[in-house]
Amino acid sequence: MGAPLTVQDLSIVAGNSTLVDNLSFSVQPGEVLALIGESGSGKTTTALALMGYARSGCRISGGRVQIGDTDVLALDAARQRSLRGRTVSYIAQSAAASFNPSRTIMDQVVEPTVIHGLCKRAEAEAKAVQLFRELALPDPDNIGSRYPHQVSGGQLQRLMAAMALIGDPDLVILDEPTTALDVTTQIEVLRAFRRVVRERRATAVYVSHDLAVVAQMADHILVLRNGKMSELNATEQILSAPVDDYTKCLLAAARPAVRASGQASGDSALLLQVKELSCGYGPVDAKGQPAKLILQDINLKLYRGQAIGVIGESGSGKTTLARAVAGLLKPCHGSVMFDGHDLKPTLQQRSPEELRRIQIVFQMADTALNPSQTIWRILARPLQFYKGLRGEPLKQRIYELLDLVKLPRTVADRLPGGLSGGQKQRVNLARALAAEPDLILCDEVTSALDTVVAAAVLDLMAELRRELGVSYLFISHDLHTVRSVCDEIVVMQHGRKLSQVARADYDRGPHHPYYQLLARSVPELRRGWLDDMDHAAATAASAHPTREIHA
C-alpha cells in the first residue's frame, strides 16, 4: 500500500545557517526508516520537509522529495495542501496539544476525509472504528464520542495515529510519538503502531532520539548530526557494527552503564528519614486530611553519601515527595528528619542553614534558570546569600564551580538563553552545589536531555557524589537512568511506596509485580525485543485471563 520515498540533496536553511545539508535517502514501499539524532540535529525539520513544509523562518533551499510519482517540492501551495493528510500524514509528539479540546474525538479523526472529500461521513466513521480496533483502543465503538480530556495520554497518541491513517496515506511520518509517554504506556503505543504499520504495509519515517525504541520499529536507521547524515544502514547493522564515531557514541550512551559511587550504605550516618509522610492538595477537612491526597504513608531512609532513586509513572507522587522534603508543600501527616533533627514542615519555619543543606534541581533547565540573569549572577547569589562571599573569593568559587561541572569559564558572562540544554542543566547543578548541600533532590534532571548529553550529566553526577560525598534523592520515570546512578530504588504508584530494591537485587527477583512490569517495559537495545514482549504477554495472558495493571 505504501509508496517509495526518495529524497535527493535536500537542503534547508534558516537565514544564514544551514539546518539540513544535502541529505539523500530513500525508503522502499512498506519499510520504516528511523531518523535519529540529538535535538537540533534537523530530524523534525527533515520530516516536515517530506510534506513540503518548512517552519516559519526556515526555507527549503534545494533538493527533491519524491513520494511515489509525485515531486512534492515542485507542487504549488494548493496541491501541497491536498497532498498533506492524504498522501503524507504526520503524527506529532504531543497528542494532547494536537487535539482540539472542544470537539469530540470522532469529529477530529474523520476530519482529513472531510477536508479532502474522500468519502462519506458514515463510511469514514466505520473506517475510524476499524482503525480504533486495530490500534487496540478500549471500547472502539464508542470512544469516538468522547472528548480528548476523557482519554489517557497513550490512548490519545493512538487516536492521533488513527487520524493520520484514515486517509490511507502512502507515507506516514511519526515525530517522536512516544517520547512524552510513560514506559508502560509507551510499550502499548509502540505495539499498536508497529501492528498497523506492518499490517497496512505503510511506508513510514520514524523520528526519535531513542535508539532502543527505534530498534523495535525501523528497518533502516539514519543517524543525523548537525543536519548531515552520519550513517545510514540497516537496523541490525547499526546496532551491532556501527561505523561512524557519533553512532558509537549514541549507542554507548543508550546502553545501561553502572556509575558506581564507592560509598557503601549502612556504615555511614542516617541523613534523611521520612516517616509516615502523607500530603495532598486542596482544602483541609476537620480531621486535617486534604481534599486530594497525593502521598500516603511514605517511609524512607537515606544514608549520607547514598543515592536513592524514586521511580513511578507520571501522577505517582514522585515530585510531591521531593516538594514535601524541600518544604514547598506542608505534609498533613508524618515527619521528615534530617541529620537527626526534625525538619519544620514549611520553608518559612526552616533556618537558612537547614535550607542550605537541602538543594533541589529541577527537570526543565529552561525554567530553572532566570533568563534575565547571567550565569555569573545565578551562581553568585547562593554564595553571597549563604556564605557572604564577595570580591576575589567569590570569583574564585564561581570558577571552581564551573570547573567542577566541566563548563568553560567564559559562560559566566552569558545568559541562560545562550547555552545548550546540557550546559543549562550543568549550571543548574552548579547552583545547587554552590550551597555545599548534604542532599540534592533531583527531579527528572535528565528527562529533557538527549541521550548522549544525559549520559554525560549522569557521569558528572556520579563523579560529584564520589568527590564531594553528596547524597541524591533521584526522581525519575526512567528505570534505566535510576538503575545506573542509584544504590536503592523506591517504586511508587498512586502515591504509595510499593517496594524498595537495593542495587545488589536489581537483577535478582522476585520483586513487586509493578517493579517487574516497569523493568520489563524499558525498551532494550536490540531488535525483536518487542516481539519477545508480545510473545511473553501472549503466554501470560493465556495463563492469567485478567491483567492486573492497566496502562
Q: Catalog residues that contact another protein under the rule CB under 8 A.
A: 56-57, 245, 248-249, 252-253, 257, 326-328, 347, 350, 352, 355-356, 358-360, 362-364, 367-373, 381-382, 385-386, 406-408, 410, 417-420, 422-423, 426, 431, 435, 452-453, 455-457, 459-460
CA distance 14 to 369: 27
Cβ proximity to another protein: between 170 and 450 the closer is 450
For the CB of residue 547, give the shortest distance to another protein in the complex, in Å.
37
CA distance 124 to 109: 9
Cβ proximity to another protein: between 120 and 248 the closer is 248
* Residues whose CB falls within 8 Å of the CB of residue 333, separated by 6 or more in sequence, listed in order: 276, 277, 278, 279, 288
Cβ proximity to another protein: between 172 and 429 the closer is 429
Cβ proximity to another protein: between 13 and 456 the closer is 456
Cβ proximity to another protein: between 8 and 373 the closer is 373
Cβ proximity to another protein: between 258 and 549 the closer is 258
For the CB of residue 365, give the shortest distance to another protein in the complex, in Å.
9
Block residue for cell numbers 464520542: 145
Cβ proximity to another protein: between 281 and 516 the closer is 281
Whether 223 contacts 216, CB under 8 Å: no
Cβ proximity to another protein: between 371 and 391 the closer is 371
DSSP assignment of 425-479: HHHHHHHHHHT--SEEEEESTTTTS-HHHHHHHHHHHHHHHHHH--EEEEEES-H
Cβ proximity to another protein: between 376 and 386 the closer is 386
- Report the side by side order of strands in the sheet with 270-284: 290-303, 270-284, 333-338, 341-342
For the CB of residue 78, give the shortest distance to another protein in the complex, in Å.
26
Phi-psi region of 30 (alpha: psi -120 to 50; beta: other; left: phi over 0): left
Cβ proximity to another protein: between 435 and 551 the closer is 435
DSSP assignment of 189-251: HHHHHHHHHHHTT-EEEEEES-HHHHHHH-SEEEEEETTEEEEEEEHHHHHHS--SHHHHHHH
- Which amino acid belongs to residue 43? K
Q: Which three cell numbers stand for residue 58?
A: 526556515
**H-helix segments, 245-348:** 245-254, 318-326
Q: Which three cell numbers stand for residue 520?
A: 520489563
For the CB of residue 460, give the shortest distance to another protein in the complex, in Å.
7
For the CB of residue 449, give the shortest distance to another protein in the complex, in Å.
9
CA distance 274 to 295: 12
For the CB of residue 518, give the shortest distance to another protein in the complex, in Å.
24
* Residues whose CB falls within 8 Å of the CB of residue 176, separated by 6 or more in sequence, listed in order: 44, 93, 207, 208, 209
Cβ proximity to another protein: between 127 and 480 the closer is 480
For the CB of residue 209, give the shortest distance to another protein in the complex, in Å.
14
For the CB of residue 166, give the shortest distance to another protein in the complex, in Å.
32
- Which amino acid belongs to residue 480? H
Whether 195 contacts 216, CB under 8 Å: no
For the CB of residue 178, give the shortest distance to another protein in the complex, in Å.
24
For the CB of residue 264, give the shortest distance to another protein in the complex, in Å.
22
Phi then psi dihedrals of residue 283, to 5 deg:
-60, 145
CA distance 177 to 179: 6
For the CB of residue 481, give the shortest distance to another protein in the complex, in Å.
15
DSSP assignment of 16-47: TEEEEEEEEEEE-TT-EEEEE--TTSSHHHHH
Whether 76 contacts 28, CB under 8 Å: no
Cβ proximity to another protein: between 106 and 411 the closer is 411
For the CB of residue 492, give the shortest distance to another protein in the complex, in Å.
21
For the CB of residue 386, give the shortest distance to another protein in the complex, in Å.
8
Cβ proximity to another protein: between 472 and 514 the closer is 472
* Residues whose CB falls within 8 Å of the CB of residue 365, separated by 6 or more in sequence, listed in order: 416, 421, 424, 425, 427, 428, 448
